[in-house]
């Protein structure tokens, strides 16, 4: 069995498309009107239509039990842009226990969206802050070989 993509239900496809395409710069792979798939392998589907597919079961949004994860290395920059656009934040930029800087926001249907710096960018940032490769590996739990490879690219 092969996993293909995540699907979230939305109450307004146009509003959600505006959010994902214009605020988060996501590119559409396929558009079926009430179901849109994006590069990165996630889809949005109109909740009322999806409910019919599952025998009329109720659709609930805002459960804080699921998130879509995106990477963007300049999290402070995207946080400022999203605040300017009035996006509702779960929390502002913060450093996770493994040292990655992330923020979490809600999409229009209160699905949690996490935006975090890539592991490579995090390693470069920590190295620039003066941490040695072994310290970075210990703090982030990333394999020493991976950390060394990222730092090695900086030096070449």
For the chain, domains (ranges, CATH) are 6-117 (3.10.180.10)
| Kind and range of the H or E run holding 142 | none
Q: Give the pLDDT of residue 74.
A: 96
Q: Give the pLDDT of residue 17.
A: 98
Distance from CA of residue 102 to its chain's centroid? 9
- Is 113 a residue whose pLDDT tops 90? yes
Q: Give the pLDDT of residue 98.
A: 97
| Kind and range of the H or E run holding 58 | none
Sheet containing strand 35-38, strands side by side: 6-10, 42-46, 35-38, 28-31
Q: Give the pLDDT of residue 15.
A: 98
pLDDT tier at 154, thresholds 50, 70, 90: confident
- Is 77 a residue whose pLDDT tops 80? yes
pLDDT tier at 32, thresholds 50, 70, 90: very high
| Kind and range of the H or E run holding 15 | helix 13-17
pLDDT tier at 155, thresholds 50, 70, 90: confident
């Amino acid at each position: 069995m092969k996993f293909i993509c995540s699907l979230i239900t939305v109450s307004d496809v146009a509003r959600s498309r505006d959010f994902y395409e214009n605020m988060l710069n996501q590119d559409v792979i396929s558009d079926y009107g009430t179901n849109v798939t994006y590069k990165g392998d996630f889809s949005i589907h109109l909740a009322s239509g999806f409910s019919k597919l599952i025998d009329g079961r109720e659709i609930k949004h805002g459960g804080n039990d699921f998130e879509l994860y995106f990477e963007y290395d300049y999290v402070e920059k995207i946080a400022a842009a999203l605040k300017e656009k009035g996006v509702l934040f779960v929390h502002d930029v913060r450093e996770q226990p493994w040292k990655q800087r992330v923020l979490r926001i809600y999409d229009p249907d209160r699905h949690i969206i996490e935006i975090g710096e890539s592991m490579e960018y995090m390693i470069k940032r920590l190295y620039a802050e003066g941490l040695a490769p072994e310290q970075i590996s210990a703090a982030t739990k990333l394999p020493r070989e991976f950390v060394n490879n990222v730092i090695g690219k900086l030096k070449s």
